[in-house]
C-alpha cells in the first residue's frame, strides 16, 4: 500500500504572508504496511508542515492503485473520501473501547 502526502495553499487566509496561505508540498506517495501506519504518517506530516485543515490534500491510501482508504486531517481513516461510506476503525481504537 501507499499513502499520498500533499499540501496546498489555503486561500481563505487574507494575509499573503500567512504560512497556511503559501505552503505548498507537492504530492508524493510513501509505502506503508497498514492503514494505521498511513494514519500515523499523515499526522506526522501535518504536524511537521504546520498544516491547517484547508491545506491537507493528501490522505489517499492506494493498494495496486485502487483507493482503499482516505486519511482525513484529524488522522481518522475512512472507506473513501465520502465520509458517509463509513469510518475504518483502527485496531488500537478497538482496544481503547
**In DSSP terms, which residues pair with 87 in a beta bridge?**
78
Q: Over 60: is that where the pLDDT of 91 sits?
A: no
Q: What is the pLDDT of residue 26?
A: 98
Q: Please state, in angstroms and rounded to a whole number, the distance separating the CA atoms of residues 83 and 76.
A: 10
Q: What is the pLDDT of residue 92?
A: 53
Q: Over 80: is that where the pLDDT of 11 sits?
A: yes
Length of the chain: 97
Q: Please state, in angstroms and rounded to a whole number, the distance separating the CA atoms of residues 63 and 31.
A: 10
Nine-digit cell string for 87: 469510518
Q: What is the pLDDT of residue 17?
A: 85
Q: Please state, in angstroms and rounded to a whole number, the distance separating the CA atoms of residues 61 and 80.
A: 9
Q: Please state, in angstroms and rounded to a whole number, the distance separating the CA atoms of residues 39 and 37.
A: 5
Q: What is the pLDDT of residue 5?
A: 98
Amino acid at each position: 500500500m501507499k499513502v499520498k502526502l500533499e499540501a496546498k495553499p489555503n486561500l481563505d487566509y487574507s494575509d499573503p504572508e500567512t504560512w497556511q496561505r503559501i505552503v505548498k508540498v507537492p504530492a508524493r506517495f510513501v509505502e506503508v504496511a497498514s492503514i494505521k501506519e498511513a494514519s500515523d504518517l499523515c499526522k506526522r506530516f501535518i504536524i511537521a508542515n504546520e498544516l491547517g485543515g484547508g491545506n491537507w490534500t493528501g490522505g489517499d491510501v492506494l493498494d495496486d492503485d485502487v483507493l482503499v482508504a482516505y486519511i482525513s486531517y484529524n488522522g481518522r481513516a475512512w472507506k473513501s473520501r465520502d465520509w458517509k461510506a463509513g469510518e475504518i476503525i483502527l485496531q488500537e481504537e478497538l482496544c481503547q473501547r
